[in-house]
Amino acid sequence: MATEDTLTGIPNRRAWDERLTVEARRAIRSGEPLLVAMVDLDGLKWVNDTQGHAADDRLLRASAAGWSGAIRDTDFVARLGGDEFAVLLPNCTDVDAEVVIERMQRAMTEGQRFSVGVASWDGAEPLPSLIARADQALYEDKARGRAGTPSTR
C-alpha cells in the first residue's frame, strides 16, 4: 500500500502509524525521549472559500515542503488528512521541540500560521493515548488563538 500523500509528497497516515511504532520501540530500548506534535493549518477553510481549491492545495504543498526542510534529520512529518499533520520528534526535549516548531513556523509562506500541540511519551502509555493528548493540546492552542506556540500536555 502507498505510504506517500499524493498531494503533498510527504508520508501519509499509514507511514505515520508504521514510523510511530518503530520510534516507540527505539525509545523504549534507548531510554531516549519521544515527543509527538499535532499540527493544524489555521484558516485553511477561509483560503479555500475565498481563493479556491487550487490555493488550498498550494498552501498544503508549500507547508509540507517547508516543514520537511525545517525539521531535524531524525524527525518525521506526515499528513494525516485535510489540514492535519503530525511530527514525530525522537530524542527530543520540550525545549528542542520549541526550536523545531519555531523553524516550522518560519518556513510558512505568506504569513500563514498553524496551531500545534505537543505531548511527551513516558514509554508505557498506549500510543493512541499519546496522540490524543497531543491532539488535545492542539485544540487548546487553537482555543487560545496562539497559533504556532506549542501547547504541551
Please write the tens of the pLDDT for every residue from 123-147.
999 999 999 999 999 999 988 875 4
Task: Write down the pTM of the prediction.
Answer: 0.90
Question: Is the pLDDT at 148 greater than 50, yes or no?
Answer: no
pLDDT of residue 3: 96
Q: What is the mean pLDDT of residues 79-99?
A: 95
Show which residues are catalytic: 83
Domain count, the chain: 1
The answer to whether position 40 is within a domain reads yes
The answer to whether position 151 is within a domain reads no
- Taking the C-alpha atoms of residue 76 and residue 71, their distance in angstroms, rounded to an integer, is 8
The answer to whether position 85 is within a domain reads yes
Query: What CATH number does the domain containing 30 carry?
Result: 3.30.70.270
Residue 27, domain extent: 13-144
Pairing of strands 84-90, 76-81: antiparallel
Please write the tens of the pLDDT for every residue from 25-58.
999 999 999 999 999 998 877 877 788 888 888 8
